[in-house]
Amino acid sequence: MTDTASTAPPPAIVLVRPQLGENIGKAARAMLNFGLTDLRLVSPRDGWPNPAAGPAASGADLVLERARVFETVADAVADCAHVYATTVRKRGVTKPVVTPEEAARAMRAEPGRSAWLFGPERSGLETDDVALARTILTVPINPEFGSLNLAQAVILCAYEWSKSQELTQPPQVELDPPAPQAELEGMIAQLEGMLEASGYFFPPDRVPATKRTLRTLLTKPGWSSQEVRTFRGVLSALGGAKKPKP
């Protein structure tokens, strides 16, 4: 790491509903090889701590000791400005798709903490997990044989991030980072509450898809904390509107 290295903190690795303790240990080992230590677990299937994790970590104990457990993905990324959802499968989600290399480059260019979401071993991330992210991260892979396990996906991302640590970059324009996820969630909750009151969510069977559409819409801008506050002020004003325009 050099003096000109990014001021952005190292990314958080978020394992969403991981199944085997062994794989959590392997992911920790993969992380520490490339200097990452911020491990977050969302509802690990077998609880935490898990006795199978330690042996698989091969000495990366400090990563396991510092690991934090969260109930939801939203909780786990509440302090993160940039959320990447890793998936190798195409999904019907219209978000930008980047490689680990491109993600690592973007993380250097933008201030604010990043989180990388990795799904459960068998099934991968659910659509609702992906909806939380602004960007999809896909490892370019053999189209006829895509079979990355969890630790392998983690290590490729960690490896790419570590490379970016040694690059020298031109001076960066100071941009406000996107608001932390928790602020985004508050804004989305406010809007959803208002829309529920207005009868917007109809018919009922379309509600989950409609909410995802709204979430994608509001995640796309990467609004800063100030911008989120402005938008919430707009909503509050509209909520109290006396003479709404048709």
Residues 143-162 that bind a copy of itself (CB under 8 A): 143, 145-149, 151-152, 155-156, 159, 162
Q: In angstroms, how far is the first alpha carbon of the chain from the final one? A: 57
- Alpha-carbon distance of 234 to 115, in angstroms, equals 29
Q: Shortest approach of a copy of itself to residue 135 CB, angstroms?
A: 11
Tell me whether residue 7 or residue 142 sits nearer to a copy of itself (CB atom): 142
- Alpha-carbon distance of 178 to 192, in angstroms, equals 21
Tell me whether residue 71 or residue 197 sits nearer to a copy of itself (CB atom): 197
Q: Could you say whether residue 199 binds a copy of itself (CB under 8 A)? A: yes
Phi, psi angles (nearest 5°) of residue 36: -95, 140
Tell me whether residue 6 or residue 76 sits nearer to a copy of itself (CB atom): 6
Q: How many residues belong to the chain?
A: 246
By CB under 8 A, what part of segment 21-50 binds a copy of itself?
29-30, 32-35
The only residue of 142, 203, 204, 205 in contact with a copy of itself, by rule CB under 8 A: 142
**In the structure encoding, which two tokens stand for residue 98, read together?**
């980047």
By CB under 8 A, what part of segment 122-141 binds a copy of itself?
136, 138-141
What single string gives the DSSP state of each residue in 6-35?
--SPPPEEEEES---HHHHHHHHHHHHHTT
Helix (H, G, I), strand (E, B) or coil at 188: helix
Tell me whether residue 14 or residue 157 sits nearer to a copy of itself (CB atom): 157
By CB under 8 A, what part of segment 164-193 binds a copy of itself?
166-173, 175-176, 190-191, 193
Tell me whether residue 42 or residue 151 sits nearer to a copy of itself (CB atom): 151
Peptide bond into 143 cis (omega under 30): no
Peptide bond into 203 cis (omega under 30): yes
The only residue of 60, 104, 125, 188 in contact with a copy of itself, by rule CB under 8 A: 60
**In the structure encoding, which two tokens stand for residue 31, read together?**
């992380």
- Alpha-carbon distance of 67 to 111, in angstroms, equals 23
Tell me whether residue 65 or residue 200 sits nearer to a copy of itself (CB atom): 200
Q: Could you say whether residue 2 binds a copy of itself (CB under 8 A)? A: no
The only residue of 5, 93, 182, 207 in contact with a copy of itself, by rule CB under 8 A: 93
